[in-house]
Amino acid sequence: MTDTVKGAAPAGEPILQVRNLVKHFPLTRGIVFQKQVGAVKAVDGISFDLHRGETLGIVGESGCGKSTVAKLLMNLERATSGEVFYKGEDITRLSGRALKAVRRNIQMVFQDPYTSLNPRMTVGDIIGEPFDIHPEVAPKGDRRKRVQELLDVVGLNPEYVNRYPHQFSGGQRQRIGIARGLALNPEIIICDEPVSALDVSVQAQVVNLMEKLQDEFGLSYIFIAHDLSIVRHISDRVGVMYLGRMAEIGTDAEIYEHPTHPYTQALLSAVPVPDPQAREQRAAGADSGAAAGRGRIILSGDVPSPADPPSGCRFRTRCWKAQDRCAQEQPLLAVPEVFRGSGTPAEHESACHFAEERATAEAA
Amino acid sequence: MPDGKDPLEPVDPGQAIAPGGGYGGGMDLAAADAQTLERTPGTGQDAGGPTGKPRSLWSDAWRDLRRNPIFIISALIILFLVFIAIWPGTIATQDPLKANLAKSQAGPEPGHPFGFDNQGRDVYTRVVYGARASVTVGVCATAGVVILGSVLGGLAGFFGGWWDAVLSRISDVFFGIPVVLGGLVFLSVVTNSTVWPVVGFMVLLGWPQIARIARGSVITARQNDYVQAARALGAGNRRMLVRHIAPNAVAPVIVVGTIALGTYIALEATLSYLGVGLKPPTVSWGIDISDASNSIRDAPHMLLWPAGALSLTVLAFIMLGDAVRDALDPKLR
């Protein structure tokens, strides 16, 4: 595996290491005297590494904890337990000046460009605000020029500084949000569904812009989305989340072509095929196994409540492979034993007791 | 939106999405769109080029206000009111307390354009002199209520937690006090006959209303992503409150505050009527309105002039509040 091939093993040392990150939101009763009656286990033990210059995609359905992970990494929420190491330093317990210093290096692009820009600030003030907060980054006289450079970098006219956000379209607003994220020259940008609020044509522009900026500034991205095709387009590695846990993580080719976790397989089988003929072939292939396991998997039931998740494997209530072991024993995120040392693309971390590639399952 | 349909996003269906699962097939819009986006939309009014002075919400709001006729008219009325409140003698040369019972309830005559009241005092002079007490009560009570209420309510909404819980219960207690009964109890023990006990009482009972509104709108504003974005940049609480939350939460407070100004002037009249508000010889519109209301059919002019002055004052403040609120909303420009 070489670095030149996209989707190969990531280059560079880990810049961000997440270890057993947990966030439980307490459920309370009472107004003055609050009593905890339970907890929503939004994120329940997540670990992954982010390497310098790579893009890690995180996919999963609504409510699986993707956005909470983003907020935890940004320290917008305090983790219940677990650690996030940025260059070897645990940032989840930082506060005050030390936290502010870390924030220079980890920035965020928000999902909804219509609420992430203050409607009562000019674009110049929005993009210039990082310099007000971190005055050491740009000397005072220099800021206006820097703001205009940033506008230029994200493909907007530098003369727009005196305009207000409502004078822009969704795609342009997201560019403004990206410019604000870039202002402090961060090393990591966490993108929480940065394109899901945009038109499809505009999504492509914004994603391409982000790739261009990554090459230009050597950024590392954590790209959270529920659109599988966009994640595949931009990511070097992909993690699949289900109900607060990571189900499977690997390079994009490993995840998209050789998924071993049943949830990933079901998720990928739901990607719509825009070609009616191919769709029919795919439906037929589900029986013959000819289309390498592309048949649609229909999951029964709903996602369980994160306030009361199932024991053992989180996915077992909807999994067609579930057995007693799945209820008793929580599967760990590790390379499954059957694939260990096999050298095949199926050799990547998957949290399933019965991990296997679907094509072989159907052939068997 | 300056122009209904935005011309800036190049939409080319052929290019937009490669079939077969999204973004796989040779999509490189980056170079193309960077060019297209350079085009300026046809707004025309946006003059600020890179060489111009940087603009901000407040400078834009002030620029907007100076051109707004409603703001100019209301500001002139308020300035005039303040002027006669300070120097009533400049436009009313008579004595507001001089009574001539022979003229009781008489209509207008030369030198006395508004007529006479029950005790034969000149209504015009009393309207002019009444501005001082009424405007002082209205403006000071409103200012006190808005400052106290929005600070307490805003902080409760921003920080939440036990501070919010305690403050909300305290404001419930004050909500529970009936205004008139409270006024009778509080003000009957005060012997001071200036406006300040009345103002203090109104602030004491009025702040919970504004506090609730401020709390609600701060909670709404706090949930916006731009507040999270500011926090992610490392902004402190003060910056978030001053730059992000306050400008986006102030509109309902302005509206309710300016309307409340009129009710405070009317409340002063109610309290005076009950004998616990301002006491003669203090001259106020409230006292005159309550005096005149007994003989509205015999001598309507006694009611109309002070009531008209009160209405004009309230209207001016409401228009001012409206203009300020609009100026702080860039979408309306």
User: Is the CB of residue A136 less than 8 Å away from at least one CB of chain B?
Assistant: no
Would an 8 Å CB–CB cutoff place A164 in contact with chain B? yes
Q: Which of B22, B52, B247 sits opposite A120 (nearest CB)?
A: B247
For residue B270, give its domain range.
69-332
How many CB pairs (< 8 A) connect A and B? 183
pLDDT in tens, B256-300: 998 888 788 888 878 887 888 887 788 888 888 888 888 888 888
Lookup: tokens for A3: 């670095």
With helix as H, strand as E and coil as C, how does chain A read? CCCCCCCCCCCCCEEEEEEEEEEEEEEEECCCCCEEEEEEEEEEEEEEEEECCCEEEEECCCCCCHHHHHHHHCCCCCCCEEEEEECCEECCCCCHHHHHHHHHHEEEECCCCCCCCCCCCCHHHHHHHHHHHCCCCCCHHHHHHHHHHHHHHCCCCHHHHHCCHHHCCHHHHHHHHHHHHHCCCCCEEEEECCCCCCCHHHHHHHHHHHHHHHHHHCCEEEEEECCHHHHHHHCCEEEEEECCEEEEEEEHHHHHHCCCCHHHHHHHHCCCCCCHHHHHHHHHHHHHCCCCCCCCCCCCCCCCCCCCCCCCCCCHHHCCCCCHHHHHCCCCCECCHHHCCCCCCCCCEECCCCCCCHHHHHHC
In the predicted structure, residue B145 carries a pLDDT above the cut 90: yes
Mutate to test the interface with B, among A28, A103, A120, A208 (most CBs of B within 10 A): A120
A31 confidence band (pLDDT: 50, 70, 90): low
* Yes or no, beta carbons of B225 and A209 under 8 Å apart: no
CA distance A226 to A274: 18
Give the pLDDT confidence score for residue B53 in this predicted structure. 67
Q: For chain B, count helices (H), then strands (E).
A: 13, 0
Q: How high does pLDDT run on average in chain B?
A: 81
Label residue A3 left, alpha or beta by phi (over 0 means left) and psi (-120 to 50 means alpha). alpha
pLDDT of residue B76: 95
pLDDT per residue as tens digits for the range B45-62? 444 444 466 778 888 888
pLDDT surpassing 60 at residue B35: no
Q: Between residues 305 and 364 of chain A, which touch chain B (CB distance below 8 Å)? A: none
* C-alpha closest to that of B203 among B283, B133, B276, B268: B268
User: Could you tell me the sign of the dihedral formed by the alpha carbons of B289, B291, B294, B296, in that order?
Assistant: negative
pLDDT digits (tens, 9 = 90+) for A296-317: 788 888 888 888 889 989 999 9
Q: How many Å apart are CA B251 and CA B218, to the nearest integer?
A: 11
Domains of chain B: total: 1
Quote the percentage of chain B above a pLDDT of 90. 29
Q: Return the closest-CA partner of residue A203 out of A223, A186, A182, A181.
A: A223
> Would you say residue B155 has pLDDT above 90?
yes
- Residue B267 half-sphere exposure toward CB, CA atoms < 13 A: 26
Is the pLDDT score of A179 beyond 60? yes
Is a pLDDT exceeding 50 seen at residue A46? yes
Q: Does residue B197 sit within a domain? A: yes
Report if residue B39 sits inside a domain.
no
Instruction: Tell me the range of A82-86, A282-286, B55-59, B117-121 where mean pLDDT is highest.
Output: A82-86
Q: What is the CA radius of gyration of chain A?
A: 22
Q: In this model, does residue B43 exceed pLDDT 90?
A: no
In which residue are the tokens 């309370």 written?
A28
A205 vs B: CB within 8 A: yes
Axis-axis angle for helices B301-327, B69-86 (nearest 10) = 130
Nearest by CB to residue B233, choosing from A103, A159, A169, is: A103
- Residue A174 forms contact with B (CB below 8 Å): no
Domain assignments of chain A as residue spans, ordered by start: 14-28+38-242, 260-350
Structural class in CATH, domain A14-28+38-242? alpha beta
Q: Is the peptide bond before A135 cis (omega within 30 degrees of 0)?
A: no
Label residue A12 by pLDDT band (50, 70, 90): low
Per-residue CA distances from A78 to A68, B11, B228, B232 (Å)? 10, 41, 14, 13
For residues A188 and A16, the answer to whether their CB atoms sit within 8 Å is yes
Residue carrying the six token digits 């030198």: B111
Q: Residues A224-247: pLDDT tens digits?
A: 998 888 899 999 999 999 999 999
Q: Is residue B89 part of a domain?
A: yes
pLDDT at position A279: 67
CB contact under 8 A, B166 and A32: yes
Q: Chain A within 8 Å of B19 (Cβ-Cβ)?
A: yes
**In-domain check, residue B140:** yes
Nearest by CB to B30, which of A111, A199, A212? A212
The CATH number linked to B157 is 1.10.3720.10
Q: Quick one: average pLDDT of B310-323?
A: 89
Grade residue B195 by pLDDT with cuts at 50, 70 and 90.
confident
Interface of B with A in 209-238 (CB under 8 A): 224-226, 228-235
Whether A32 contacts chain B with CB within 8 A: yes
